[in-house]
Every structure is written in C-alpha cells, then in structure tokens.
Amino acid sequence: MAVTTASLTITSSDLVGDALSLTTTNTLKKANKIEGLDQTTGMNVAYLTSVASIDLFPALVEGSLAFTGKSSWVYICNKSTDETEFALITIGGINIGRLYGGDYLWMPWSMKESANADNHHGDIELKPSVATGMFFDWICINEGTEHHAVDLAIS
C-alpha cells in the first residue's frame, strides 16, 4: 500500500493583526478506508500555445461506476512567471477559478456526471489566457482508474 502525503503551509506576518501560520498534512487514502491511494496519472508537464480549453484527464472515464464514491485528488500549477498570465480552471463547465502565474490548486475530484445535464461529466478543463506559450504541471492521484476502451464513443 502506497503512502502519499499532502502538506500545506500558509504563512503571513501582516495579513491580520496576529501572525498567520497554518500547517496541515494528510495521507491520501481510499474512500472510507485506511489504505493509501495507489494510482496516478503521473506528473504531466505541458507547454500550451493555444487559448483553447483542454480536458486534463481524458484517460479517465468520468461518471462511471468505477468512480462512484471514490477518492481522487488533483494538483494543477501554472508555471508561468508572468503574473498577468492565467488559466481558467472549470469543472463540468462551471468556473472554479483562475490560476495566475505561480499559482496552484489542490482539490478533491468526484468525477461525477455534471449536475447541469450537459456532456461535461465532471471534466476538469484548463483554458490558458494567452497563446504565446505557458507551462503547466498537473497530476491526478486516485483509486479505481478505468481507461477508455478503444474507439469508445463519449457523449
């Protein structure tokens, strides 16, 4: 069983009157279990030169029984050093937020079919703000990976 930990530290000496120093660590486990997550897409490094939205995890079959109630975690980082360049991250067509240069996110992912009754099926999509080239990293750590069958028709 794999042991993977995710830690976060948020610090600020001047955001509020008292110093902010928040640290938290958790071990990534399968849903309702003490077993660690044991599957991953691996770290993707991409240089995107279009402002078109892309599906970050097309190899995973969203909304399938294999993922019902499962635990999945997503990390995305905008590696741009230009603070004005951002990427809009959406889930199922709904805006999550903008990752500006240097920003990252760490979020759970249900992969449920979209509640909006469209065809997004909980997809996580990334849309760069410029077409001049931006680097991104992303990884999904999960359980129950189910890959597309060959030539699977996706609605």
Per CB under 8 A, 135 contacts other proteins: no
Residue 66, φ and ψ in degrees, nearest 5: -60, -25
Among the residue ranges 52-60, 108-116, 145-153, the one whose residues contact other proteins (CB under 8 A): 108-116
Residue 76 DSSP code:
E
Give the span between the Cα atoms of 94 and 143, in whole angstroms: 24
Task: In whole angstroms, give the CA distance from residue 119 to residue 92.
Answer: 8
22 binds other proteins (CB under 8 A): yes
Instruction: Check if the beta carbon of residue 31 is closer than 8 Å to that of residue 69.
Output: yes
- Which of 61, 91, 126, 134 contacts other proteins by CB under 8 A? 91
CB of 148 to other proteins, least distance (A): 21
Nearest approach in angstroms of CB 152 to other proteins is: 23
CA distance from start to end of the chain: 35
* Residue 38 within binding range of other proteins, rule CB under 8 A: yes
Shortest reach from residue 138's CB to other proteins, in Å: 12
The size of the chain, in residues, is 155
* Geometric angle at alpha carbon 45, from 155 and 71, rounded to 5°: 55
Binding site for other proteins (CB under 8 A): 2-16, 20, 22, 24, 26-27, 29, 31-34, 36-38, 40, 42-43, 69, 71-73, 75, 77, 83-84, 86, 88-89, 91-100, 102-110, 112, 114-116, 122, 139, 141
